[in-house]
Amino acid sequence: MGLEVNEQADAEGDGRSARKRRAILDAATEVFLKSGYLGTNMDEIAALSAVSKQTVYKHFSSKEALFIEIVGGMTTGAGDTVHNDVAQLGADEDLADYLVEYALRQLTVVLTPRIMQLRRLVIGEVTRFPELARVLYERGPARAMKMLAAVFENLAARGLLTIGDPATAAEHFNWLIMSAPLNQAMLLGDAAIPSAAELRRNAEAGVRVFLAAYGSRQR
Amino acid sequence: MGLEVNEQADAEGDGRSARKRRAILDAATEVFLKSGYLGTNMDEIAALSAVSKQTVYKHFSSKEALFIEIVGGMTTGAGDTVHNDVAQLGADEDLADYLVEYALRQLTVVLTPRIMQLRRLVIGEVTRFPELARVLYERGPARAMKMLAAVFENLAARGLLTIGDPATAAEHFNWLIMSAPLNQAMLLGDAAIPSAAELRRNAEAGVRVFLAAYGSRQR
DNA sequence: AGCACAGAACTGGACGGTCCAGTTCTGTTG
DNA sequence: CAACAGAACTGGACCGTCCAGTTCTGTGCT
């Protein structure tokens, strides 16, 4: 109600308190991603954010609350990064190229050390924090596949795809593209994240299979 | 050299020591799967196995050693369960039916609460125990896809499939079949494990896409 | 066979040392 | 004066060890 815009519980805010709060969040993100939930201790977070422990607890009531905050923020943040621009297929653009580009955009965002580590972290804590895992699922794969289904339905209406169930087609496309590199990086570590060239080959091969099954017959 | 068969360092063994050892391993498996590595304490394992803590440490030098033992055992055990019988395609059998049956066998083994929890556990500890994750990858997806590639190469030689790279085809088949239910169960918990009927529909849809891309043309 | 005995394995509990979440207290700074 | 830093502190958990006393198991002796 004052002259200043209130902090949106997100990014804005120049006050001393807001700055400290962000420092804590940044430090907590780093430490939690590195050491996991139980492996993290609050002293390290306070030290890394150059803030006293008292201040940490002034902003976040508990370790659990801080954890939920940063994981929740990262999931929605990452989800938004991928899906805020869904370019339509241009009139003179090749369908296969369009799908490959879409796949590559998705892959380059998800196959990032931070995002991969977030995934591992949330999966490892499914039992302790089932809600966080559900949110990650909704804002990640579920969201991607919902958008894909809409795109495919549109393409089918334009006669460019032959699709029974759009949701199933979206699932198939999504996993044809993502699964191999994702699972590899998941278990073999960040060093196993494929190069850009490998990702392109992977995307092209996946698109080829997808179009063989769902492409319209004249080709 | 005696009348009795020697213990194979694995299952056999009737002595008191061997019995206690198995009890410890069983209890440790349960507790580690339930609470994770850091969340598990050795007193609980000792209590659940009805054994003194001293005995636990007589059999396993540390918490870490015990963890490695049970996770390693589970991964090889589960891997062997899937892959010890790879039925050939019968002469009068339909290829699609054969592939669906193969997929279902795979799915019903992997989509088990214990195996899913093992996966979550190992993924959550990739940083702490990279070796365990690598072993799980080798004995799990990598092994499955190697066998698939061999099967597909054979089918291609018999003119039943049209395949460029067998390894890529195996990847595509494997993930077309597994990814959707696996990812769902991974993040949404054991309650999200699909029913047998859903798994069959999922397998049939995946096989349809696979054959559209890799099936031989006369059909 | 049955008995005695030695050594290993096990129990139950206590305990040292460490770690850590969260609190509190005493200055100090904006 | 309110927020903060710095540091100490509380209460509890937990790994790994130790010890005194008990049970098991295999071996040699009668």
Tokens representing residue B36 in the block: 């994770």
Q: Is the pLDDT of residue A188 over 80?
A: yes
Average pLDDT value for residue range B134-155: 96
Residue A7 confidence (pLDDT): 35
Task: Say whether both A37 and A83 belong to one domain.
Answer: no
Q: What DSSP element (H or E) covers A171? A: helix A166-188
Q: Is B127 in the A-facing interface, judged by CB distances under 8 Å? A: yes
In a domain, B81, yes or no: yes
Are residue A55 and residue A86 in the same domain, yes or no?
no
Mean pLDDT of B188-207: 97
Residue bearing the bigger pLDDT, A110 or A16: A110
Q: In this structure, are B201 and B94 located in the same domain?
A: yes
Please tell me the predicted confidence (pLDDT) of residue B84. 61
How many CB atoms within 10 Å of residue B100?
A: 20
Domain boundary at B33, B60, B87, which? B60
Residue A191 has pLDDT above 90, yes or no: yes
DSSP result, A103-133:
HHHHHHHHSSHHHHHHHHHHHHTTTT-HHHH
**CA of B5 vs C1' of D30, distance in Å?**
32
**pLDDT tens digits along B59-72:** 999 999 999 999 99
Interface contact A162, partner B, CB < 8 A: no
Give the domain range for residue A26: 16-60
Q: Which nucleotide is nearest to B23 (CA to C1')?
A: C10
Read off the pLDDT of residues B72-91 as tens digits, 9 standing for 90 and up: 999 998 777 776 667 777 77
Q: Is the CB of A35 under 7 A from strand C?
A: no
For residue A47, give both structure tokens: 């030290």
**pLDDT at B57 (0 to 100):** 97
Q: Which residue in B38, B178, B183 is closest to A141 by CB distance?
A: B183
Helix (H, G, I), strand (E, B) or coil at B161: strand
| pLDDT for the residue A14 | 64
Which of A7, A25, A60 finishes a domain? A60
Residue B86 is predicted with a pLDDT of: 73
pLDDT 10s digits, B148-176: 999 999 999 999 999 999 999 999 999 99
| CATH code of B44's domain | 1.10.10.60
Residue B91, domain member (yes or no) = yes
Contacts of residue B180, defined as CB under 8 A and 6 or more positions apart, other chains included, come to A171, A175, B202
Task: Please indicate, yes or no, whether residues B31 and B128 belong to a single structural domain of this protein.
Answer: no
Total domains in chain B come to 2
Let me know whether B33 and B118 are in one domain.
Answer: no
Mean pLDDT of A165-188: 98
Q: Is A45 found in the same domain as A116?
A: no
Same domain, B99 and B204: yes
Per-residue pLDDT, B11: 53
Q: Is the pLDDT of residue B9 over 50?
A: no
Same domain, yes or no: A55 and A102:
no
B155 within a domain of the structure (yes/no): yes
Q: Is the dihedral of CA B145, B107, B23, B124 positive or negative?
A: positive
pLDDT of A83: 65
Residues B78 and B136 in one domain: yes
pLDDT band at A13 (very low <50, low <70, confident <90, very high): low
User: How many Å apart are CA B103 and CA A161, to the nearest integer?
Assistant: 27
Range 76-135, chain B: CB under 7 Å to any strand D atom: none
Task: Assess whether A107 and A134 both reside in one domain.
Answer: yes
Same domain, B53 and B94: no
What local confidence, expressed as pLDDT, does residue A103 receive?
96
Q: Tell me what the pLDDT averaged over chain B comes to.
A: 91
The model carries a pTM of 0.92
Given a cut of 70, whether residue B8 has pLDDT beyond it is no
Nucleic strand C within 7 A of Cβ A37: no
Name which residue leads in pLDDT, A8 or A134: A134
The answer to whether the beta carbon of residue A57 comes closer than 7 angstroms to any atom of strand C is yes
Look at residue B188 and tell me if it is in a domain: yes
CB spacing of A187 vs B38 below 8 angstroms: no
* Of the partner residues B124, B175, B209, the one whose CB lies closest to the CB of residue A124: B124
DSSP assignment string, B182-194: HHHHHHH-GGGPP
By C-alpha distance, which of A144, A159, A153, A151 is closest to A219?
A: A159
Under 8 Å between Cβ of B122 and B186 = no
User: Which pair of structure tokens corresponds to residue A84?
Assistant: 């805020």
- Residue A9's region, left for phi above 0, alpha for psi from -120 to 50, else beta, is left
Whether B66 is covered by a domain: the verdict is no
Please report whether residue B7 resides in a domain: no
For residues B41 and B20, what is the distance between their CA atoms, to the nearest angstrom? 18
Kindly report the average pLDDT of chain A as a whole number. 90
Distance CA B163, CA B214 (A): 6
Please, which contacts does A140-149 make with residues 24 or more away whose CB atoms are closer than 8 Å?
A140/A75, A140/A78, A140/A79, A140/A110, A141/A174, A141/B183, A143/A79, A143/A83, A144/A82, A144/A83, A144/A106, A144/A174, A145/A170, A145/A171, A145/A174, A146/A170, A147/A83, A147/A86, A148/A173, A148/A174
pLDDT tens digits along A198-211: 999 999 999 999 99
pLDDT reading at B6 higher than 80: no
**Residue B1 in domain:** no
Contact residues, A window 33-92, toward B, CB-based 8 Å cutoff: 34-36, 38-39
Contact between B136 and A187 under an 8 Å Cβ cutoff? The reply is: yes
Higher-pLDDT residue of A81 and A67 is A67
Question: Do A37 and A101 belong to one domain?
Answer: no
**How many contacts (CB atoms, under 8 Å) link A and B?**
112
Q: Is the pLDDT of residue A12 over 70?
A: no
- Stretch A9-37: mean pLDDT, rounded? 84
Question: Residue A189 and residue B123: Cβ atoms within 8 Å?
Answer: no
CB atoms within 10 A of CB A153: 17
Give dist(CA A219, CA B23) in Å, integer: 63
CATH of the domain at A94: 1.10.357.10
- What nucleotides of chain D have any atom within 7 angstroms of a protein Cβ? 3-8, 13-20, 24-26
Residue B120 is assigned to a structural domain of this protein: yes
Chain B interface includes A195 (CB < 8 A): no
